[in-house]
Chains A and B, each alone.
Chain A
C-alpha cells in the first residue's frame, strides 16, 4: 500500500508543522530571556543577567510556587469532581439534565473580567475574602466546566454494553465504574486535567481580583509588571517552567500509557 505510506508520511510532516507553529512564540520567548534588551530589541546580545536577577526576585519566585500549588490542587479537584459529574450526566436520565448541561457554559462564556469582579464582590460579601484560598475556589470553578465537557465528549464514544456485560458477570456498580468505565475514559480525564492545569496556571484576571499583597500568583505578578516594570525575568521564569514541565511530561510519557492504547 504505497498510498498509505505516503499519507502516513504526510501526516507526520503535518504534525511537525503544527508543533512548529505552536512552539514559534515559545522559542522566541526563551530566546528573549537571554537577550540584553528588556524591550526585545535586536540585534541579539547574549546575557544570563535575567536569570541571575530572577534568582534574587523572591516575590516572583514565591508567586510562581503559589501558581504551581494552586494549579496542581485545581487539577486534582477538577478531574475528580468533573469526571464524577460527567459520569452522572452520561449514565442517568432525569428532569433538568439539559439545564445542568447548559449551566456549564456561563463560566466559559462570561468574560473572566466579569466573573472575577462578581467573585470579588460575593466573596467579600459572604466573608470568604481574598487570598490563596479564594483563588483556589475560583480556579476550580472556572476549570470544572472544561473538564466536564472534555470527559463527556470521551464518554459519548463509550459502549454501554460493556457496563452491562460486566454487570451480568456479577460486578457491582463500583467495580463496573472502576474496572470498565474509568479505564475507557482515562484519556479524557487526563486531557481534562491538562486543561484544568492550563486554565489555572495561566489565569490572571480572576486571580488578579482575588489576590492579596502577600499572596499572589505568577500571572498576577506579570500583569502588574507589564504596566511599568516588565523585564525579561518574566521570560526567564516562563522558560524554566516550560523546560521543567516538558521534562516531566516526557518522563511521564516514557513510563505511563494513557493515550488509550487498545
Chain B
C-alpha cells in the first residue's frame, strides 16, 4: 500500500527534501572518504613528500596475511554477540516502556535511558574498570552477599569488552524498538487475544512482525560500529583486546601507513554492507 502513494511522484518531488542532508553528507563525509579510497590505492602518502605510484598491494595485504582475516572474523563475532545481547536486553525493555508504562513516568524513563550516553565514553570505560577488576565493586559486593569466597576478575578479558560495549549500545536498541512498538495499536493486540490467541502467539504473530523495522534499525546501528570499534576492546580487553579495529588504528597512529589502514577499513565496509544486504531479505521475510 505504501507503493501506491510512493510511485505517484518521483525524484523531482523528493529532491528539495533530500538535497540539504545529502549535500552536507557529500561535503563532510563522502568527498573526504573518496580521497581516502584514492589513498588506499597508493604506495605512499602524497603528503609525505615521497614518490608514489598506484598499487593494489594494500588490498592484497589483507589476503596475504592470515592475521587480518582472523581478526576480522573475531570482530564480526564480537559485533554479532553484542547485537544479540542488546536485543535480548533492550527489546523487552522497549516493550515495557511502550506498552506497560503510561503517562509521565514513561517520558521520564525514556529520557533516563538515553542520558548515560551523554557522559564521556572514556570516563565510562574507566568506571567499568572499577567495577570489573579483582577487588573491585562487583567482586566486593558478591563476596559480601555470598556465603563462600569467589574471585571475580573480569577486567582485561573478552567478557569485559562485551559488557562495556553492550552498556554503550543497548540504549540504541531500546529507543529504536520503542519507536515501532509504541506505534502498534493496542486494539490489534486485544483483538488477537479475544480471538483466542495466547500471549506468545500474539507476540510472535503481531508484535514482533510489526516492530521489525525498529529491531532491524537498532541491530544495524549497533552491529556496524561495533565491528570497527577499537577503544573499548583496547582498554577493557587487555591481552585479549586485539581486534580488526585496533590494527587499523595502529596503521594510522603507529606507523603512519594510511594507504594500508584505509584499504583495511574499506574491506571492512564492504564486508559489513554485504552482510547487511544478505540479511535484509531474511529479515523482511521474518516480518
Contacts and interface: CB of A to CB of B under 8 A. Distances in A.
Interface of A: 7-8, 11-12, 14-15, 18-19, 21-26, 28-29, 32, 40, 81-82, 84-85, 87-96, 100, 102-103, 105-111, 113-115, 117-119, 121-123, 125, 137-138, 140-142, 144-146, 148-150, 152-154, 156-158, 160-161, 163-164, 187-188, 191, 194-195, 197-198, 201-202, 204, 218-219, 222-223, 226, 234-235, 238, 241-242, 245-246, 249-250, 252-254, 256-262
B28 A198 contact: no
A157 B2 CA distance: 11
A118 B36 contact: yes
Contact of B29 (A113, A115, A150, A156): A115
Interface string B160-171: 000000010011
Interface string B203-216: 00000001001101
Looking at B35, B47, B227, the one whose CB has the most chain A CB atoms below 10 A away is: B35
B137 interface: yes
A253 B111 contact: yes
Interface string B20-59: 1110110111111101100000000001000000000000
Contacts of B109: 15, 19
Contacts of A8: 100
B150 interface: no
Nearest to A138: B28
Given A113-B230, A245-B118, A238 B106 contact: no
B64 interface: no
Interface of B: 1-7, 9-11, 13-15, 17-18, 20-22, 24-25, 27-33, 35-36, 47, 89, 92-93, 95-97, 100-101, 103-104, 106-124, 126-131, 137, 167, 170-172, 174-176, 178-180, 182-185, 210, 213-214, 216-218, 220-221, 224-225, 227-230, 245, 248-249, 252-253, 258, 261-262, 265-266, 268-269, 272-273, 276
A103 B1 CA distance: 26
B230 A142 contact: no
Nearest to B7: A93
A18 B261 CA distance: 38
A161 B5 CA distance: 9
A14 B109 CA distance: 12
B42 to A, nearest CB: 13
Contact of A191 (B2, B11, B106, B175): B175
B117 A40 contact: no
A29 B170 contact: no
A103 B34 CA distance: 13
Contact of B107 (A40, A226, A253): A253
